[in-house]
Amino acid sequence: MAQIPTFKLNDGTEIPSFGFGVFQIPADGSTYKAVLDALKLGYRHIDTAAAYFNEAEVGKAIKDSGIPREEIWVTSKMWLQDYAYEDAKKAIDTSLNKLGLDYIDLYLIHQPYGKVDEAWKAMEEAKKAGKIRSIGVSNMTPKLWNKWVPKFDEMPSVNQVLFNPYMQQKELRQILAKNHVTLEAWGPLGEGNKELFAEPLLNDLAKKYGKDVGQIILRFEHQEGVIVFPKSVHEARIKSNKEIFDFELTSDEMDAIRALDRNGAGMHNPDAPGVEEMLLNAFDIHAND
């Protein structure tokens, strides 16, 4: 089983560059099983969030896996109704309790609206207290980054955003590179976009390397220095997604895939009017507490 390489974050921690995402996997035993399968197959990085409502199953799978805690990287995220400073402190403890962990490896501001600066302050303090190892943000466009990050005492270690060959975040990546901030991709496979999977270039490369199109996409992203964590509940797919470390795309092939960028046309845009209001009122994360 190929060892998954790590990337070094700007705070010195080493994060597995490839992980397993549990967005939209229900907490009816499905998340528990999927995470347990992923850990058995060699994954050591699990990405969840308070708003996925499945932190408890992630934590149980980690506990039952028998793998030492320090060998598994766990990411979770704070939901925006908890950003007021006192609520944020509570939210961090709630995530720790649900996960059944003494610390979280990476904790993110899930959506960059509302009292972001207060949430960040609580996260900086939790990091100093050893409850969190690394802190970061999510869904920050260049505009949102420039609105919030200059107010922070500590630079985020990651920004988790939509990223795939059709959405390559070129402007954002220039800003992140200046600050040695690592990009993490959600939707790394284009959220199942049929057009992306039909791209002749990607299909030709899949034939050349004896891989499937998904593996070509994930390899491209890995070589771009992006952390990816594709989601699946199918064991065969969980296994095949990570089989990308036994080949390398050439620089010409990388350039050809870079040319597929559409700058995210038609995809989720955090700057769009109404997005902030919609997310602030999306649901009550504490409805079942």
Contacts of 189 (CB under 8 A, 6+ apart): 164, 196, 214, 217, 218, 230
155 falls within a domain? yes
Looking at residue 268, what is its pLDDT?
A: 83
Q: What is the pLDDT of residues 58-95, one digit of tens each?
A: 999 999 999 999 999 999 999 999 999 999 999 999 99
Q: Which parts of the chain have pLDDT scores under 50?
A: none
The pLDDT, as a whole number, for residue 236 is: 87
Q: Which residues contact 186 (CB under 8 A, 6 or more apart)?
A: 21, 23, 138, 160, 161, 162, 163
Residue 40 lies in a domain: yes
- The CATH number given to whatever domain includes residue 67 is 3.20.20.100
Residue 5 lies in a domain: no
Check residue 264 and give its pLDDT.
Answer: 75
43 is catalytic: no
Average pLDDT, the chain: 94
User: Could you list the residue range(s) of the whole structural domain that residue 131 is in?
Assistant: 15-280
Q: Write down the pLDDT at residue 2.
A: 62
Q: Answer for the pair 160, 184: CB distance below 8 angstroms, yes or no.
A: yes
Angle at 151 between CA 146 and CA 152, to 5 degrees: 105
CA 238 to chain centre: 16
Q: Where are the alpha helices (DSSP H) in 66-212?
A: 85-99, 116-128, 142-148, 170-178, 194-197, 200-209
Is residue 4 a part of any domain in this protein? Answer: no
Distance CA 211, CA 167 (A): 22
**Residue 193: Cβ-neighbour burial (10 angstroms; 0-12, 13-18, 19+):** middle
Q: What is the pLDDT of residue 289?
A: 72
Rg over alpha carbons for the chain, rounded to the nearest Å, is 18
- Report how far residue 200's alpha carbon sits from residue 122's, in angstroms, rounded to the nearest whole number: 48
Joined together, the tokens standing for residue 56 give: 């408890």
User: Considering the entire predicted model, what is its pTM?
Assistant: 0.95
- Is 22 part of any domain? yes
Which of these is catalytic: 52, 83, 113, 166?
A: 52
End-to-end CA distance of the chain: 40
Question: Helical H runs in 103-190?
Answer: 116-128, 142-148, 170-178
Q: How far apart are alpha carbons 151 and 148 in whole angstroms?
A: 6
Residue 6 in domain: no
Predicted pLDDT of residue 1? 54
| Among candidate residues 116, 109, 113, the one with its CA nearest the CA of residue 134 | 109
Domain total of the chain = 1
pLDDT value at residue 217: 97
| Confidence (pLDDT) at 149 | 97
In-domain check, residue 285:
no
